[in-house]
């Protein structure tokens, strides 16, 4: 009895305490809309002392002018501009309160003094926040807008910071404040720190220090400092050049792997079977639409949708491929130019079929784990979806090579391509092998569609963008040769990316096309030509 | 006298050619009469837009002839004919653009509107000379011809054949399309060249000019037909067919295969360029979408549907498919046109390898056989 009473009283006390705290927050928030700026400043200071994670968003909203009072209710809300009005949410529990028009809201005004106060408090709160992402973002913001008054917050944050990456960012932030100070020692230290940074802002600051007038003299009074800065700049520029090179290589390889994915199915249908499949692009499109359909059918598995879509797209495109082979291409073996026309007809029909479902340009959602990027330093970052596509295309290539070289089915495929009559007499049913090979090529195009749906628009015409490029890759690499396709795709991708800064995207592409046209004159059978009698037409 | 003998030789064995020539003569005489002399409210009046439409079809027929010459007789499936057509069209378009003078929106006498819009100060060097009609016509012939010569010389010399040639001609077309879409090329970017006012001082909108253009197109088509026919029945034509059927064997017999191919490829490109130059003043616009690889493939289907390797079949195919296109895309069937076109591609390649002409031939042969059988039957009974 006694114990339970005590327990009850303790519980009560705890409740009251939390209520009090909650009330304190609510009271202070109401005071933010006080009559005088001094009252507001007091409230802001009070809020800052509370250890409550709701404080930071409120102060930040106030600083950015996004804190409002709802006219009739007197409730204080955070607003976000959306369309014709503001989407508002309560500051107390972050619950959304719908959309209000501008006239229903009254902005909480702040003056310069309060703004300065807010900036330093928000920066302090952000720099000591528990979430490392907030701390990092705050440090990056500080580098972008150095503020003398925030120096102390930065210094104290630097003392407590454990994360090395954020620590170095904070050093740069501190240096970018110090470089504008009057203390020579501080400036010298700042230049030394900035010399190791690669952020564009740091480079700009060093450039300012090392600036010269037209006659070649430093504008900076402290010439020693300026020459140090200039030496550092030269070093940074080479470093940045290297990063730019790495980045170009990465983009080039990622473009190359997109080309590889698009072309690899064609390497089978065209390279192995000799069929000019103009509907190849539409197989890619079907794969992309399968991804879309799966996201629509199973919205609860959005994160996994891409994984589910890979086998599904393979089956859908592969089945369509087998159907096309059995109904159309079967009649046209040995007449490659005719397969070009017939499959072009198929591509027109498929495109129009998708259009008549009113399915123009659908939005395929990127799962959470594929978005975002890997930030290496201020000048270099790799996006996740590109990295996944590179890995994915290599995996598909490896799987395909394994299938063709090490399995019985692959053996049959190679046998039929090399000598159909002999394969037939050995008991291989070449008709079925043809259908399966074409299905395999189409299915891989479908898989490519899943990957491409993550980086381009999905629409009825998406296949058209890739068909010419795919043919170029296969012809350039050498028909009937997976390795050739691989090297051709990667080299074309990298060359294209390196041409872009000099020539622009379109001209770069034209140059590559002309190069391939000329290259074919030199080696009509591509980079890695197959040798042997069966190559002759 | 020699000319007539050539003409006689051309037409002697060529019954469809005679029919084609008859039809063209009929068009040349009847269309101007029914358009210009018959009053507008009469039942027999042919409206000007129909004249323009017919002119467009006939331009396409020239284009189809050009493709049939190289594909049907020499086995070169070029997917670049659309590009040669568009280049010829651009040459004519540049002349027509210069004829606008200061009547453009910006009223600049020295620069076309789109250059004023792009803030260009002077005419690029490659626009000089296009004030003269003769120069423009020369360029409409020369530019596709030279491009085809250089491209063909490279490709045929290194024995790029079959589908490889198709793919790289398609790449050429695609590269040209990308190039002409660029604004800094100085060809009007994606809007192309349009808003033409007059040709050789005659108003492009007037019925008389339209009819004259139509008549010129008909005559050009007839001449192109005779040129192609002449090539195919000459010794050169026989060599071409043998190249189509057995290239290596022809080479081993001592013929310079690449020279023959190059010659016929250049002739075909020039014909395509002329067709383009006739097309632009009638349609009134030329833009980079004419370079679309899809257009080049469509030309192939005209020829395939008409019947490849017959010349008149190509003309027939171009007229049929384009009439179908106008008919279907204009009406409630607009959505189905691409289905129909796609189905045409599939059905002709699988079931009608010789096209409409082949079907007609088979039917005629069957009837002749029946008649012979009928004639022979009574004899057997006795």
- Reported as a single tens digit per residue, the pLDDT across A465-481 is 888 888 889 888 887 77
Give residues with Cβ within 8 angstroms of B342, minimum separation 6.
A344, A345, A346, A347, A348, A349, A352
CA distance A533 to A271: 16
- Sort out which chain A residues have CB atoms less than 8 A from B154's CB and list them: 518, 521
CB contact under 8 A, B175 and A337: no
Say whether pLDDT at A18 is over 60: no
Average pLDDT over residues A272-277: 80
List the single range of A248-252, A334-338, B279-283 with lowest mean pLDDT. A334-338
Of the candidates A353, A464, A513, the beta carbon closest to that of B171 is on: A513
Query: Which alpha helices (DSSP H) does A32-54 contain, by range?
Result: 37-49
Closest chain A CA to residue B160 = A524
Say whether pLDDT at A1 is over 60: no
In contact, A268 and A458? CB cutoff 8 Å:
no
Query: Which alpha helices (DSSP H) does B101-234 contain, by range?
Result: 113-117, 133-157, 162-181, 207-233
Give kind and range of the element (H or E) at residue B241.
helix B235-245
| pLDDT 10s digits, A373-415 | 787 766 677 888 888 889 999 999 999 999 988 999 899 988 8
pLDDT of residue B382: 44
Sign of CA dihedral A390, A391, A396, A398: positive
Give residues with Cβ within 8 angstroms of A145, minimum separation 6.
none
pLDDT band at A285 (very low <50, low <70, confident <90, very high): very high
Of the candidates A342, A464, A537, the beta carbon closest to that of B349 is on: A342
CB contact under 8 A, A336 and B163: yes
- Sort out which chain A residues have CB atoms less than 8 A from B174's CB and list them: 468, 513
pLDDT of residue A104: 76
Question: Which of B71, B358, B19, B22 shows the shortest CA–CA distance to B232?
Answer: B71
Does residue A173 or residue B62 have the better pLDDT? B62
In A301-358, beta strands by DSSP E: none
Give residues with Cβ within 8 angstroms of B223, minimum separation 6.
none
In contact, B282 and B59? CB cutoff 8 Å:
yes
CA distance B255 to A89: 85
- Read off the pTM: 0.79
Give residues with Cβ within 8 angstroms of A281, minimum separation 6.
A347, A462, A463, A464, A465, A466, A467, A470
- Sort out which chain A residues have CB atoms less than 8 A from B344's CB and list them: 345
What distance lies between CA A426 and its chain's CA centroid?
51
Give residues with Cβ within 8 angstroms of B360, minimum separation 6.
none
CB contact under 8 A, A338 and B353: yes
pLDDT of residue A417: 79
Sign of CA dihedral A182, A183, A187, A193: negative
CA distance A496 to A259: 11
CB contact under 8 A, A356 and B304: no
How many Cβ atoms from other residues are within 10 Å of residue B106's Cβ?
A: 12
CA distance B301 to B308: 10
Average pLDDT over residues A319-345: 88
CB contact under 8 A, B335 and A355: yes
pLDDT of residue B95: 93
pLDDT of residue B5: 62
| pLDDT 10s digits, A292-309 | 999 888 888 888 888 899
With an 8 Å Cβ cutoff, the interface of chain A facing chain B consists of 276, 278, 328, 331-332, 336-342, 344-349, 351-353, 355-356, 464, 468, 471-472, 475, 506-507, 509-510, 513-514, 516-518, 520-522, 524, 537
Q: For residue A445, how many C-alpha atoms fall within 13 Å in the half-sphere facing its CB? A: 34
Q: Is A85 helix (H, G, I), strand (E, B) or coil?
A: strand
CB contact under 8 A, B155 and A468: no
Of the candidates A331, A341, A518, the beta carbon closest to that of B300 is on: A341
Average pLDDT over residues A96-109: 76
CB contact under 8 A, B155 and A507: no
pLDDT band at A92 (very low <50, low <70, confident <90, very high): confident
In contact, A198 and A243? CB cutoff 8 Å:
yes
Give residues with Cβ within 8 angstroms of A403, minimum separation 6.
A409, A410, A440
A–B interface: beta-carbon pairs under 8 A: 120
- Four-point Cα dihedral A118, A119, A125, A127, nearest 10: -170
**A311 to chain B, minimum CA–CA distance in Å?**
29
Q: Is A413 helix (H, G, I), strand (E, B) or coil?
A: helix
CA distance A345 to A451: 26
Winning range, highest mean pLDDT, from A20-34, A224-238, A393-407, B4-18: A393-407
**B350 to chain A, minimum CA–CA distance in Å?**
7
- Sort out which chain B residues have CB atoms less than 8 A from A339's CB and list them: 349
- Four-point Cα dihedral B300, B302, B306, B311, nearest 10: -70
pLDDT band at A535 (very low <50, low <70, confident <90, very high): very low
Say whether pLDDT at A153 is over 80: no
What distance lies between CA A501 and its chain's CA centroid?
21
Question: Which of A407, A464, A459 shows the shortest CA–CA distance to A437?
Answer: A407
pLDDT of residue A201: 76
Closest chain A CA to residue B350 = A331
**Residues for chain A: how many in total?**
537
CA distance B326 to B318: 12
Of the candidates B171, B174, B346, the beta carbon closest to that of A345 is on: B346
CA distance A319 to B97: 52
What 8-state DSSP symbol labels residue A427? T
What's the whole-number average pLDDT of chain A? 81
CB contact under 8 A, B335 and A352: yes
- Four-point Cα dihedral A290, A291, A297, A299, nearest 10: 180
With an 8 Å Cβ cutoff, the interface of chain B facing chain A consists of 77, 151, 154-155, 157-164, 166-168, 170-172, 174-175, 178-179, 181-182, 293-294, 297, 300-301, 304, 335, 338-339, 341-346, 348-350, 353
CA distance B335 to B121: 45
- Sort out which chain A residues have CB atoms less than 8 A from B168's CB and list them: 475, 516-517, 520
**Residues for chain B: how many in total?**
382
Domain ranges of chain B: 49-305
Weakly modelled stretches of chain B, pLDDT under 50: 1-2, 381-382
The CA-atom distances, in angstroms, between A363 and each of A301, A304, A449, A459, B83 are: 16, 17, 14, 9, 34
Of the candidates B181, B344, B346, the beta carbon closest to that of A328 is on: B346
What distance lies between CA A154 and its chain's CA centroid?
31
CB contact under 8 A, A518 and B154: yes
Say whether pLDDT at A47 is over 90: no
In contact, B240 and B74? CB cutoff 8 Å:
yes
Say whether pLDDT at A8 is over 70: no
Q: Which fold has domain A242-364+371-536?
A: ABC transporter involved in vitamin B12 uptake, BtuC (1.10.3470)
- Sort out which chain B residues have CB atoms less than 8 A from A331's CB and list them: 350
**B74 to chain A, minimum CA–CA distance in Å?**
13
CB contact under 8 A, A342 and B345: yes
Dig out the tokens for A228 from the structure: 């140090």
Q: A427's torsion region: left (phi>0), alpha (psi -120 to 50) or beta?
A: left
Give residues with Cβ within 8 angstroms of A300, minimum separation 6.
none
pLDDT band at A341 (very low <50, low <70, confident <90, very high): confident
- Sort out which chain B residues have CB atoms less than 8 A from A345's CB and list them: 341-346, 349
| pLDDT 10s digits, A72-91 | 777 778 877 776 677 777 77
Closest chain B CA to residue A340 = B163
CA distance A503 to A500: 5
- Sort out which chain A residues have CB atoms less than 8 A from B164's CB and list them: 475, 520, 524
Sign of CA dihedral A296, A299, A302, A308: negative
How many Cβ atoms from other residues are within 10 Å of residue A455's Cβ?
A: 15
pLDDT of residue B62: 96
Q: Please, what's the largest Cα pairwise distance for chain B?
A: 93
Say whether pLDDT at A132 is over 90: no
- Put the strands of the sheet holding A105-107 in their side by side order: A96-100, A85-90, A76-82, A67-70, A105-107
Of the candidates B167, B168, B345, the beta carbon closest to that of A345 is on: B345
Where exactly does CATH 1.10.3470 map onto chain A?
242-364+371-536
- Sort out which chain A residues have CB atoms less than 8 A from B353's CB and list them: 338
- Burial class from Cβ neighbours inside 10 Å (0-12, 13-18, 19+) for residue A72 reads exposed
pLDDT of residue A537: 45
| pLDDT 10s digits, A348-382 | 999 989 888 866 778 888 887 877 778 776 667 78
pLDDT of residue A13: 54
Average pLDDT over residues A101-106: 76
How many Cβ atoms from other residues are within 10 Å of residue B241's Cβ?
A: 16
Site from B306, B350, B353 to mutate, A interface, most A CB atoms within 10 angstroms: B350
List the single range of A19-23, A437-441, B102-106 with lowest mean pLDDT. A19-23
pLDDT of residue A337: 81
Does residue B6 or residue A424 have the better pLDDT? A424
CB contact under 8 A, B342 and A331: no
Dig out the tokens for A264 from the structure: 């690899």
Of the candidates A348, A356, A524, the beta carbon closest to that of B335 is on: A356
CA distance A249 to A498: 8
In order, the DSSP letters of B315-381 are: HHHHHHHHHHHHHHHHSTTGGGHHHHHHHHHHHHHHH-TTHHHHHHHHHHHHHHHHHHHHHHHHHHH
């Amino acid at each position: 009895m006694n114990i339970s009473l005590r327990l009850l009283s303790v519980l009560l006390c705890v409740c009251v305490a939390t209520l009090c705290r909650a009330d304190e927050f609510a009271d202070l928030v109401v005071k933010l809309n006080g009559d005088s700026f001094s009252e507001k400043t007091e409230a802001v200071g009070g809020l800052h002392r509370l250890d409550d994670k709701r404080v930071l968003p409120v102060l930040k909203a106030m600083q950015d002018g996004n804190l409002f009072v709802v006219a009739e209710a007197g409730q204080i809300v955070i607003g976000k501009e959306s369309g014709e009005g503001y989407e508002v949410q309560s500051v107390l529990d972050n619950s959304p309160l719908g959309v209000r028009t501008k006239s229903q809201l009254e902005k909480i005004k702040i003056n310069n003094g309060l703004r300065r106060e807010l900036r330093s408090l928000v920066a302090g709160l952000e720099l000591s926040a528990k979430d490392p992402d907030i701390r990092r973002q705050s440090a990056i913001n500080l580098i972008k807008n150095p503020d003398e008054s925030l120096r102390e917050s930065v210094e104290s944050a630097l003392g407590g910071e454990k994360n090395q990456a954020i620590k170095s960012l904070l050093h740069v932030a501190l240096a970018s404040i110090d470089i504008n100070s009057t203390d020579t020692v501080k400036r010298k230290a700042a230049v030394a720190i900035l010399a190791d940074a690669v952020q564009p802002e740091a480079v700009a600051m060093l450039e300012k220090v090392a600036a010269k007038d037209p006659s070649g003299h430093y504008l900076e009074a402290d010439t020693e400092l300026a020459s140090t800065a200039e030496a550092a700049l030269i070093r940074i520029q080479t470093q940045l050049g290297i990063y730019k090179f790495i980045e170009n290589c990465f983009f080039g390889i990622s473009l190359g792997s997109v080309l590889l994915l698009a072309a690899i199915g064609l390497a089978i249908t065209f390279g192995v079977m000799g069929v000019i499949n103009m509907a190849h692009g539409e197989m890619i499109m079907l794969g992309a639409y399968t991804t879309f359909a799966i996201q629509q059918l199973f919205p609860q598995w959005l994160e996994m949708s891409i994984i589910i879509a890979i086998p599904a797209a393979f089956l859908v495109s592969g089945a369509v491929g087998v159907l096309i082979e059995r109904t159309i291409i079967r009649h046209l073996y040995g007449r490659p130019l005719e397969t070009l026309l017939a499959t072009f007809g198929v591509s027109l029909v498929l495109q129009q079929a998708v259009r008549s479902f009113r399915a123009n340009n659908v939005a395929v959602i990127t799962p959470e784990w594929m978005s975002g990027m890997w930030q290496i330093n201020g000048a270099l970052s790799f996006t996740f979806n590109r990295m996944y596509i590179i890995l994915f295309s290599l995996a598909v290539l490896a799987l395909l090579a394994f299938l063709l070289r090490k399995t019985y089915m692959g053996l049959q495929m190679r046998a039929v391509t090399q000598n159909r009559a002999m394969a037939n007499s050995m008991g291989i049913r070449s008709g079925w092998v043809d259908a399966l090979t074409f299905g395999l090529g189409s299915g891989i195009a479908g898989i490519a569609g899943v990957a491409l749906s993550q980086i381009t628009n999905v629409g009825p015409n998406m296949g058209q963008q890739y068909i010419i490029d795919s043919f170029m890759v296969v012809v350039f690499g050498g028909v009937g040769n997976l390795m050739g396709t691989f090297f051709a795709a990667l080299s074309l991708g990298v060359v294209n990316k390196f041409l872009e800064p000099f020539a622009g995207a379109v001209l770069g592409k034209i140059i590559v096309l002309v190069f391939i046209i000329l290259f074919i004159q030199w080696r009509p059978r591509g980079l890695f030509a197959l040798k042997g009698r069966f190559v002759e037409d | 006298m020699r000319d007539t003998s050539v003409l006689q030789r051309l037409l002697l064995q060529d019954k469809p050619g005679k029919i084609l020539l008859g039809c063209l003569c009929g068009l040349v005489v009847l269309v101007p009469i029914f358009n210009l002399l018959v009053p507008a409210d009469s039942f027999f009046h042919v409206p000007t837009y129909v004249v323009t439409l017919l002119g467009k079809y006939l331009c396409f027929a020239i284009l189809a002839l050009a493709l049939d010459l190289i594909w049907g007789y020499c086995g070169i499936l070029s997917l670049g004919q659309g590009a040669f057509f568009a280049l010829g069209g651009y040459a004519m378009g540049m002349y027509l653009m210069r004829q606008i003078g200061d009547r453009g929106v910006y009223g600049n006498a020295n620069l076309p509107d789109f250059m004023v819009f792009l803030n260009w100060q002077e005419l690029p060097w490659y626009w000089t000379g296009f004030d003269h009609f003769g120069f423009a016509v020369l360029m409409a012939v020369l530019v596709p011809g030279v491009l085809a010569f250089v491209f063909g010389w490279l490709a045929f010399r290194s024995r790029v054949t079959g589908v490889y040639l198709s793919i790289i001609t398609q790449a050429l077309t695609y590269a040209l399309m990308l190039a002409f879409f660029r604004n800094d090329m100085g060809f009007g970017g994606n809007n192309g060249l349009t808003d033409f006012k007059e040709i050789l001082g005659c108003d492009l909108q007037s019925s008389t000019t339209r009819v004259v253009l139509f008549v010129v197109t008909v005559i050009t088509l007839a001449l192109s037909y005779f040129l192609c026919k002449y090539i195919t029945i000459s010794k050169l034509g026989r060599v071409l067919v043998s190249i189509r059927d057995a290239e290596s064997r022809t080479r081993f017999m001592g013929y310079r295969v690449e020279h023959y191919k190059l010659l016929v490829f250049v002739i075909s490109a020039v014909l395509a360029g002329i067709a383009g130059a006739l097309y632009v003043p009638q349609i009134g616009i030329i833009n980079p979408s004419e370079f679309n690889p899809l257009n080049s493939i469509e030309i192939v289907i005209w020829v395939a549907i008409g019947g490849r390797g017959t010349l008149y079949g190509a003309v027939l195919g171009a007229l049929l498919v384009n009439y179908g296109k106008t008919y279907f895309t204009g009406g409630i069937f607009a959505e189905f046109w691409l289905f129909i076109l796609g189905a045409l591609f599939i059905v002709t390649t699988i079931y009608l390898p010789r096209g409409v002409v082949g079907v007609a031939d088979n039917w005629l042969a069957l009837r002749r056989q029946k008649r012979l059988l009928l004639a022979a039957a009574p004899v057997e009974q006795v």
